[in-house]
Amino acid sequence: MRRLLVAFMLMCFACGLCACKSEAVKAVEQQISDIVVSEDSGTAIAASRKAYDALTDKEKKAVANYDSLVEAEASYDKIFADRVTEIIAKIGAIDENSGTAIEAARNAYDSLSKSQKQLVGNFDSLISAEKEYEDYMVCLCG
């Protein structure tokens, strides 16, 4: 009888460890698995995040590939931040013709999300270029 009780307890424990995942968890895991990070994957990443956020706390803990979603979000943000970093770096020496490059860099930066803006390492260079260009144009006109 004791062996039977121990066997039953072990089976219950094993079942608890491999508890079946809900259909919602399986669907979110599949969505995350389907993400291929590129500049066009924003919709898929956002949909996966929304689906994950809609899960209960217990279901969220059951999502085995959540780290992949976080990594996809970070990689996606980096694609756009790197592009803006390059645009800012190409402003070059300031002269009367720099206005277009500075404006393009500012527009590109302003179009980023908050998390993407945090990844732009040379934002200070854009601020400096804007100020330097403004000062240059005042001196040129004055």
Q: What is the DSSP string of 48-74?
A: HHHHHHTS-HHHHHH-TTHHHHHHHHH
Average pLDDT in the chain: 90
Cβ contact 67:77 at 8 Å = no
**5 pLDDT band (50/70/90 cuts)?**
very low
Q: Is the pLDDT of residue 37 over 50?
A: yes
- How many CA within 13 A on the CB side of residue 16? 6
Q: Is the pTM of this model over 0.85?
A: no
Instruction: Report the share of the chain in percent with pLDDT over 70.
Output: 86
Question: What are the tens digits of pLDDT across the range 8-20?
Answer: 555 555 545 455 7
What are the b/e assignments for 28-38, b being 16+ CB within 10 Å?
A: bbebbeebebe
Name which of 91, 93, 102, 97 is nearest 140 in CA terms.
97
Say what the pLDDT of residue 141 is: 72
Give the model's pLDDT for residue 53. 98
- pLDDT for residue 98 is more than 80: yes
